[in-house]
Amino acid sequence: MSATTATMVDTALSLHPEHRADLQRSGLSEATIEALNIHSARPGDISKVVGFDPPGVTSAMVFPYPDENGFARVKVFPTYTDKKGHTVKYLQKPGTGVKLYAPPLAARVLTDPTMMLMYTEGEKKAAKANQEGIVCVGIGGLWNWTDNGHPIPKFDEIAHADREEIIGPDSDVWHRPDLLRPVYALGKELEQRGAKVTVVIIPPDPDGRKRGLDDYLVACERDGMSATDALARLKRLPLKHAAFSHAAEWWKNWSKTRAGDGATDEADSQPVVLADPDPWPTPVDGADLLTAIEKTLTRFVILPRDAFIAIALWVLHAHVLKAFSLSPILAVLSPTMRCGKSTLLSLLAVLLPRALSTSNITPAALFRSLERYKPCLLVDEGDAFLTLSEELRGILNSGHTRSGASVIRTVGDDFEPKIFSTWGAKVLAAIGKLPPTVMDRSIVIAMQRKAPGESVERFRQSKLTELTPLCQQSARWAADNLAVLRDAEPSVPGQLNDRAADNWRPLLAIADLIGGEWPTRAREAALTLSGETVQEESHHGVTLIGDIVAIFEARDTDRLSTTDIIADLVKLEERPWSEWRHGKPITPRGVASLLRPFKIKPKVQRIGPDTSSGYEQHMFIEAHTRYFPGSYPKHCQQSNEYHDLDPISDPQQDPHVKDTKSDLTIEKHSNVKDVKDRNPENEAEAGYGPDFDTREPVAWETL
């Protein structure tokens, strides 16, 4: 036994009750737990196991990795939020690298290509599969089979030739393109090593909640089905299946980036040719120009009104960039696919000067392109590679201000240091979120999917010539107004934080110079888009909408109090709601904040003798239809079966209405005390105070 392993065993207790319950939910037997040496670290010894003191963690469950020289990962209780805003559930010692979790059954047959081999996410799932006779290895996360973009050495110890290899991801990957990409990339890696790869579709729970391999096997056991039969009944998709089409397109670019310098066959490459637009021959009215850009955008994409204003101003800022010392990134974010992100980029590529579009770029190509061509850079698929490359993020961040827009690299055989400029207007598009440091330097445009009944024109290449005059007119306006804008000092709404205020100053300066309604519209847009942090969490809002609709369905009602909704939200293990802020559950105010961008607001309502703030299911129909097409709530009518506390609503209604579902009498009053001045979004947190925690203290078992 290594010294590291000995330390872990010496500091272990018999399992903490919360840890044992967690393992039992995954279907692990006492024999399996003992055989795999899964144990609890004493509270005072957690830092010895993970190498530091994780904030707020009171206990840790240790998963030793067999044959990995004492390496272990730990699950922390409770989870916590790190400095980057990520929810941390698992930890390992810094610098210990990425490993595969291979329980003894799997470890014995890694070199036997005649044995089927399965891959799943997490130690518990792999342990459960091996316990039931399914040869399976675990990866610590969907990307935890790579190290700096390359497969870890353990894959070289596995015999892949003509081997049946199955990937078993959690059920939520099929509606999360950001999760499906690493699944596909792993499959391609295995396939290129000679394996016959399929991906199984694990169904969600009957209530639609996320389910992993362990959850699925446990559920099948309850139905009297063996694990091998349960695995056999799962649908398997080859990598060529249409479900992976978007991931396949992404993978082509990602694999080039992973190769190193992204070099391509010179015969297939094209030189970069950029030219400044020819200015419009006559002076241009700025207000008319902004209106024309705004109307053009509305023809082709669905966006909130303030987003059109911000984009139109940002386009002019790119044309007159020489006047400013700071250039905010335009971050175009979609909560999911098919929200018009690529269409918007195509429009901007015509409207912007010296536009250079790419969906994949290496750090070297980025700073060399910015230095040489002085482009307006439009980067799609930013979520695919920015999270993997700290160097790329650093280059993009450096270009936020003119004074700091440079990087130093060595060139030539003599390795002579040279300064490269990173200054320039940049558009970054992504699904989900960009890294926090990039988001902080951005004006965020939250795309939204077209709802049934909404229509826009299809943007085709033939439309390009229609947009060229707008680019030329923008160039003329910029040339005529450059000198005035250099000295502009626009007033900034006090509600913006310092970084957001800096980001909006160039746009507000343009709006002030143009005049008319634009100064007011620009400041309203600034407050809407950057005055709060909710726009950075729009993808959490979409997730919340889906979860709340599922709660309505599970409770079989069309009205719920916020307290009841939160009580169900915090039970969702694979959701962030139980540790939304600083390890505490989401509050009524947090729910309202996430739903506000979707125009969903709580109402004060009476059910029985009590009044409380809450929501009705019909409020979610539009957003749910937009982001979950084909899935409609059962309770979709705006029914008078329950009533708002509105003294003029439905005056003909009998004051005592029987609720046939709950056998409650719901009273309708024409004058309800203590309701008139209440704002459900700002009222007290109804029992969810700053010290609220859903976890009860748990006693430790004795040795």
Spatial separation of the C-alpha atoms in residues 371 and 565, rounded to whole Å: 53
CA Rg value for the chain: 28
pLDDT at 405 over 90: no
Please tell me the predicted confidence (pLDDT) of residue 651.
Answer: 31
Q: What is the pLDDT of residue 679?
A: 42
Q: What is the pLDDT of residues 167-176, one digit of tens each?
A: 999 999 998 8
pLDDT computed for residue 610 by the predictor = 76
> Phi/psi zone of residue 67: left (φ > 0), alpha (ψ -120 to 50 degrees), beta?
left
* pLDDT at 680 (0 to 100): 40
Q: Give the side-chain half-sphere CA count within 13 A for 480.
A: 16
Structure tokens at 319: 């044309």
Q: How do residues 377-404 score in pLDDT, each as one tens digit? A: 998 877 666 655 678 888 888 989 998 8
pLDDT at 270 (0 to 100): 55
Of 584 and 521, more confident: 521
Query: Among 76-90, 117-131, 169-183, 647-661, which stretch is predicted with the lowest mean pLDDT?
Result: 647-661
Long-range contacts of 50-57 (CB under 8 A, 24+ apart): 50/74, 50/91, 50/92, 50/93, 51/93, 51/94, 52/94, 54/80, 54/88, 54/91, 55/80, 56/80, 56/582, 56/583
Which of 432-441, 484-493, 494-503 is predicted with the least confidence, judged by mean pLDDT? 432-441
Who contacts 344 (Cβ-Cβ below 8 Å, separation ≥6)?
297, 300, 301, 303, 311, 332, 429, 445, 447
Q: What is the pLDDT of residue 163?
A: 96
Q: What is the mean pLDDT of residues 91-97?
A: 85
Q: Does 354 have pLDDT greater than 80?
A: yes
Dihedral sign, CA of 21, 24, 29, 31? Answer: negative
Question: What confidence score (pLDDT) does residue 371 get?
Answer: 87
Q: Is 497 helix (H, G, I), strand (E, B) or coil?
A: coil
Task: Tell me: pLDDT of 703 over 90.
Answer: no
The model's pLDDT over 247-277, given as tens digits with 9 standing for 90+, comes to 998 888 787 766 544 444 443 445 566 778 8
pLDDT score of 37: 94
99-158: pLDDT as tens digits: 999 999 999 999 999 999 999 999 999 999 999 999 999 999 999 998 767 888 899 999
Q: What is the mean pLDDT of residues 353-365?
A: 83
Flag whether pLDDT at 315 surpasses 80. Answer: yes
- Which residues neighbour 306 within 8 Å (Cβ) at sequence distance 6 or greater? 524, 525, 528, 529
Please answer whether residues 278 and 472 qualify as being in contact, where contact means their C-beta atoms are separated by less than 8 angstroms: yes
* Sequence-distant contacts of 249-252: CB under 8 A, at least 24 apart: 250/181, 250/184, 250/381, 250/384, 251/181, 251/184, 251/185, 251/188
Average pLDDT over residues 71-78: 92
Q: When comparing pLDDT for 591 and 343, which is higher?
A: 591
- Per residue, the 3-state secondary structure of 136-152, as one string, reads EEEECCCCCCEECCEEC
- Comparison of pLDDT for 665 and 208, the residue scoring more: 208
Q: What's the predicted TM-score (pTM) here?
A: 0.47
d(CA 608, CA 588): 21
| pLDDT tens string 675-684 | 333 344 433 3
Q: What is the pLDDT of residue 55?
A: 87
pLDDT range class, residue 52, cuts 50, 70, 90: confident
pLDDT of residue 97: 84
Find the mean pLDDT for residues 602-612.
Answer: 79
Give the pLDDT score at 81.
81
Residue 548 has pLDDT above 80, yes or no: yes
Average pLDDT for 579-608: 84
- Whether residue 694 has pLDDT greater than 70: no
- Most confidently predicted of 228-237, 611-620, 635-644, 648-657: 228-237
Q: What is the pLDDT of residue 565?
A: 95
Q: What is the DSSP string of 333-389?
A: EESSSSSSHHHHHHHHHHHSTTEEEES---HHHHHHHHHHH--EEEE--HHHHTTT-
Q: For residue 538, what pLDDT is reported?
A: 60
Over 90: is that where the pLDDT of 87 sits? no
